[in-house]
Structure 1
Amino acid sequence: MIDVEVGRTPTGMRSFSMAYRSEFLRQWDAAIERGSRAKLLRENNLAYGTVHRWIAARDRGEWTASMRAAAEKPGRRMDSRERAELAQLRKENQQLRQKVEQAEAAQQILGKHSSSWST
């Protein structure tokens, strides 16, 4: 099995990084025993057509150009786990803001009542 995470597109489709594709094709090229490639496809839940497109792109040199473009591109994309964590943190942040607003409102109310008691 490959230890590189598989991401998801906004529509829920799987998105394979270049590291994943490279490692898979390395294993694919090394698979010489009968049935080993079919086993590799099953273990990674991939269709032969997908792998065939990766092989064709690699053979045409598209991967090298893609890797160069990615290296020159500033920043990096978030994977699905990072997007989920960001969404959770935003939700928690919003909840904490609401609690602070409630606490400030309660403090104002109590502050007004306590000042009227002291006079």
Structure 2
Amino acid sequence: MRHPGTWKVDNGGLWYPADATEPKHPISPRGKTRVSIHMPRWASRITLEITGVRVERLNDCGEADAIAEGIAPELDGWTDYSNPSCQMCLNPVDSYRTLWDSINGAGAWEANAWGWVVEFRRVQR
């Protein structure tokens, strides 16, 4: 069983375990397994440039921030992660609150922790 965060190298190119496929006809025997942080930069499939970093309280999250966190739209609202099959939230921040509590435990949103906000853009290569 291979570790999900590893990339496989064969001397003729790369294949990625996340793609769930191996080359049908590798050019040469596969090389050693490397963790992604030890792969050469040219092997990355996406490059991000950090454009901003700030610290803010969790409850200062706005609607655009909540949507950027990846909450799912649901009919005329947003997914309620505390009971996704039966309910929906009317605004993105409420949806994000239910997601946060489902990941970090009941009451985690009310703790209003400090967090890092990292903004980035994708660099086209």
Which TM-score band (shorter chain)?
Answer: under 0.3
What TM-score, normalized to structure 1?
0.18
Structure number with greater CO (CA < 8 Å, separation at least 6) is 2
Relative to its length, the structure with more strand (as a share) is: 2
Instruction: Work out which of the two has the higher radius of gyration on C-alpha atoms and give 1 or 2.
Output: 1
